[in-house]
Structure 1
Amino acid sequence: MTQIDTQLQDLRQKAQDEIATCDTLDQLEQLRINYFGKKGQLSQVLGAMGKLDPSERPRVGAMANEVKQAIQTDLDNKRTALQAAQLEAQLQSETLDVTMPGIYRPQGQIHPLNGIIDRALDIFVGLGYTVATGPDMESDYYNFEALNMPPDHPARDMQDTFYLPGGNLLRTHTSPVQIRYMEQRKPPLRVIVPGRVYRRDSVDATHAAVFHQIELLAVDEGLRFSDLKGTIKEFLRQMFGDLPIRFRASYFPFTEPSAEVDLQWQGKWLEVLGCGMVDPNVFQAVGYDPEKYTGFAAGFGVERFAMVLHQLDDIRRVYASDLRFLRQF
């Protein structure tokens, strides 16, 4: 037996002991480099084979391959065992006990006002309308002048306004969004505009200084009042059911002719919205040709619809955040 034989046997035993006591994958990788690297222990032993008698080299070479294969097998087996142990430890640390009770989080509900808005928008989107929104703070031009209400127009007295420093104001209706929408697009168009509006009303059971409106606008060639009536009738039918409705002549500065719409609800006529054909002056303000295009508009208060459909006795209930009230919806 040569010195190299002894070294290979010692190396095999040493590697077996070190691999068996290895605790981590990083340590195992370092052992692999120590034995099989270019400057590893096995390479150093094999480097001395050139000094052997030629007749001894085949036998020693075969023995060296056996030692190398044995060490590699030990490394592979240890790697598999360490990986399995690592996975098991991870599973144990991330175990979810499904028998434990979860944290109860009560499910929320749609607010009655949001419910009315969603319902109305679904109806008009189904009729081909596009939803649009705009800023709550407006200029006098968009809130009044572009809607055929110059500074000395008496219709401004119908809307007691919150004026802000710098000449701006809180919008009194969502109609300014229609002006902005028309300025950016050419007919034909159909748009539905929901939003919060502000007026200096005295707060009582049927009035609030902050409330919600939904307004619609359609512009095209050849639109007539009969198209407006058909749209309103279909909307009210889907919202309230198949009930009698009537149109009464009224006045709005931005529509001509104008009408109030009443619905026969529980045996009484109930005013639900205002509407009319768009005044030519409004079209001129946005650059539309009133000789070519016609249009109609309508608007209603969301709180008004909520009070009717949910039979509420006081508008202030929808703003009070009283869970005893809100849980009914």
Structure 2
Amino acid sequence: MNELDSLVESATQLFAQSATPADLENAKAQFLGKSGRVTELMKGMAQLSVEEKKSRGAAINVAKQAIEAALTARRQALADAELQVQLKAEALDVSLPGRQRGQGGLHPVSLTLERIQGIFGSMGFDVAEGPEIETDWFNFTALNTPEDHPARSMHDTFYVEGGAPGAPNLLRTHTSPVQVRHAVQHVKKHRALLDAGQPMPEIRVIVPGRTYRVDSDATHSPMFHQCEGLWIGENVSFKDLKVIFTAFCRTFFESDDLVLRFRPSFFPFTEPSAEIDIQFQSGPLAGRWLEVAGSGQVHPNVVRNMGLDPEKYIGFAFGMGPDRLTMLRYGVNDLRLFFDGDIRFLSQFQ
């Protein structure tokens, strides 16, 4: 075995003993680096004649190519071994059952809102929406609530920046301002009929949405939901309110076994006004009167602010809390549970 064959064998053996890519690079440097044994052989050719350089150079190149081939083979072997270790560590057993992602669903309050809209929709009520940042005029003044009226302070209002001088903007305290907005647009749409002395199509609408007041305990939240209703026409009476709301409650709770009570009350935007209580005749709440809504005949001043003649047009309005209805329907006694984001609690309603 000549010198070059021995060199190739030594390099091949050293490469084979390299257990890591770093070891292999160190072994490579001993043969192919700047001071490696192959490089030194090339430098030693300087003293040879031209003919000797040709034959010697060709032999060294053959040895160099053999060493590089051994190096490449070992690199590939180390890479393959590393891949096998990785594949073994990340092995996937396709016979195991897959990890299922839980299916989401609607929030219980959203389910209640959908239920309310469906019931009133079957009675011919449309759904109206409006801004949550409201003007003082729509939220209070248009609803017959003057600046010095105690009802303003009762609402514990969140005021926000902006608005005209003396007319601040605020987070709406109820969805009643949308009733006025909807009625104003309805009147504009049918102004030609009114001017001609002809009857205008009735206003029959519910207004679900978020509202805001400074309040927080087991039965109140700074953000809560309301759903208000409005029905205005030439011959709409308090009797219609009783019939409509009684039918709603019995459908919502899926029970004819409940009684409604209209208890006299006061609201600036209705006259006369009434709180609506319900009493179940059976079940865990049997015998208790539970307040579920406020209602009343729309005040003449509010009818005027809608652009209508209160001597000709009359109607009723009501407002209820979908959050409270949700609590009653599902037997939950703490409103905060609905908004804590606990999946364990919310998943019960899917």
TM bin (shorter chain): 0.5 to 0.7
What CA distance in whole angstroms lies between the structure 1 residues aligned with 2:304 and 2:141? 12
State the match for 1:138 in structure 2. 134
How far off is 1:101 after superposition? 7.3
Structure 2 residue 274 is matched with structure 1 residue 259:
yes
Give the equivalent residue in structure 2 for 1:293.
313
Moved over 6 A (4+): 99-103
Counterpart among 310, 325, 333 of residue 305 in structure 1: 325
What number of residue pairs does the alignment pair up? Answer: 231
- State the shift of 1:237 in Å: 0.8
Superposed, which structure 2 residues align to 1:22-61 within 5 Å? none
2:204 to 172, 179, 190: 190
- Summarize the alignment of residues 111-126 of structure 1 with structure 2, pairs less than 5 Å apart: 111-126=107-122
CA distance in 2, matches of 1:192, 1:115: 16
Deviations 1:63-95 (A, max 9, x none): xxxxxxxxxxxxxxxxxxxxxxxxxxxxxxxxx
- 1:113/1:100 CA distance change after superposition, 3 Å: same
1:207 corresponds to: 220
What is the identity, as a one-letter code, of the residue corresponding to 2:149? H
Q: What TM-score does the superposition give when structure 2 sets the normalisation length?
A: 0.64
Per-residue displacement from partner, 1:229-250 (whole Å, max 9, x unpaired)?
1111110110122111111111
- Structure 1 position 306, deviation (Å): 1.0
**CA-CA distance at 1:105 after TM superposition:** 3.0
1:327 paired to 2:347: yes
Under a length normalisation based on structure 1, what TM-score does the superposition of the two structures give? 0.68
CA distance in 2, matches of 1:277, 1:269: 23
CA displacement at 1:222 relative to structure 2: 1.1
Query: Which one of 237, 241, 244 corresponds to residue 231 of structure 1?
Result: 244
| Alignment deviations for residues 206-236 of structure 1 (CA, whole Å, 9 cap, x no partner) | 1111000000000101111101111111101
**Aligned counterparts of 1:156 and 1:216: Cα–Cα separation in 2:** 21
User: Offset of 1:199 from its aligned partner?
Assistant: 0.3
Aligned counterpart in structure 2 of residue 221 of structure 1, from 212, 234, 239: 234
Kindly provide the CA deviation profile for residues 254-289 of structure 1, in whole angstroms up to 9, marking residues without a partner as x: 000110111113221111111101000001112101
The residue matched to 1:121 in structure 2 has which SS? helix
Q: What is the distance in 2 between the residues matched to 1:273 and 1:232?
A: 10
Q: Secondary structure at the match of 1:288?
A: coil
Q: Distance in 2 between matches of 1:152 and 1:205?
A: 31
Unaligned runs of 5+ residues in structure 2 are 1-94, 163-167, 188-200, 281-285
Residue matched to 2:158: 162
Deviation for aligned residue 1:111:
1.0
Match of 1:171 in 2: 172
The superposition leaves residues 126-162 of structure 1 with CA deviations (integer Å, 9 ceiling, x where unpaired) of: 0000011111000000000000001111221221100
RMSD between aligned residues: 1.7
Where in structure 1 are there 5+ consecutive unaligned residues? Answer: 1-98
Tell me how far apart the structure 1 counterparts of residues 246 and 220 of structure 2 sit (CA, whole Å): 26
CA distance in 1, matches of 2:104, 2:176: 32
Shift of 1:102: 6.9
Identical counterparts, % of pairs: 54
Paired position in structure 2 for 1:181: 182
Separation in structure 1 between the aligned mates of residue 135 and residue 160 of structure 2, nearest angstrom: 10
Residue identity opposite 1:178 in structure 2: Q
Distance 1:244 1:188 in 2: 29
**CA 1:254 to 1:317, structure 2 compared with 1: closer, same or farther past 3 Å?**
same
Aligned residue for 2:159, secondary structure, equals coil
